[in-house]
Structure formats: C-alpha cells, structure tokens
Amino acid sequence: MEKVVLAEKFAAFSDLWSPKLVGEVNDFHVKVAKLKGEFVWHHHEHEDELFLVVKGHLRIRLKERDIALDEGEFFIVPRGVEHMPIADEECHVLLLEPKSTLNTGNVRSGRTVSEVQSL
C-alpha cells in the first residue's frame, strides 16, 4: 500500500507499446506505457479504454476522425470502436481499463502483450 510516482514508473522502462501495470482498483488496471509510431487497428469487444496523456502528444485514429491529445487530456475509447493510437514522437500515457483488456483487443499480432509486467 504505497503511493505511485508516475515519473519514477516512466523512468523504469524504455520499451514501446508494452503497458506496465502500476495499480489495481477493484476489477480495473492502471497501466503506464510509452508509445511511438503507429499501433495496429483494433477494438475491444467489452472494454472501454481510457488514454490520459502524461507527456507528449497522442493521436487516437478512429475510422471517421482523429482525436488529438495533449498533456493533461484524456479520451475514452468506447467498447466496440475501432481505433489506432499514433504518436509522432515518444508519448507517455496512463491507461485505465478493465483487467480483462488485451492491448491489441480483437487482433493478435507481434504487438500483443499477453502477460502484462508489473512495475
């Protein structure tokens, strides 16, 4: 039962597109991730997913438009909605999603992280 210093967590890893577990709130996971480049198109059948930008800029590409997020801004991707995160430069995000959430949703790819590492 300790506090979490986000800056310390981000300093503790460098791999991209690999969310790290930093907290559990009932059946939810709090994760941090470093993103750069384009991810894969996917959706989550049952889970909404919150992206909060802690550092940098993130675009969440939806089928009909892009959501552009700066530091201190978040977007909740509703379940079932196709999305692809894109970061032109390295971006640090806090993710909030049900424990059941797989990072690539309905898609299995080289980007899929089946076992999330705890920090």
Q: How many of the other CB atoms lie within 10 Å of CB of 58?
A: 26
Minimum separation from the CB atom of position 63 to its own copies (A): 12
Nearer to its own copies, 41 or 74 (CB): 74
Place of tokens 């970061």: 87
Minimum separation from the CB atom of position 7 to its own copies (A): 6
For residue 11, state whether it binds its own copies (rule: CB under 8 A): no
Q: Are strands 83-98 and 117-118 parallel, antiparallel or unpaired?
A: unpaired
For residue 12, state whether it binds its own copies (rule: CB under 8 A): no
Among 17, 20, 35, 47, binds its own copies (CB under 8 A): 47
Q: How far apart are CA 14 and CA 114, in angstroms?
A: 18
For residue 36, state whether it binds its own copies (rule: CB under 8 A): no
Amino acid at 87: A
Nearer to its own copies, 16 or 81 (CB): 81
Q: Which helix (H) or strand (E) holds 25?
A: strand 20-25
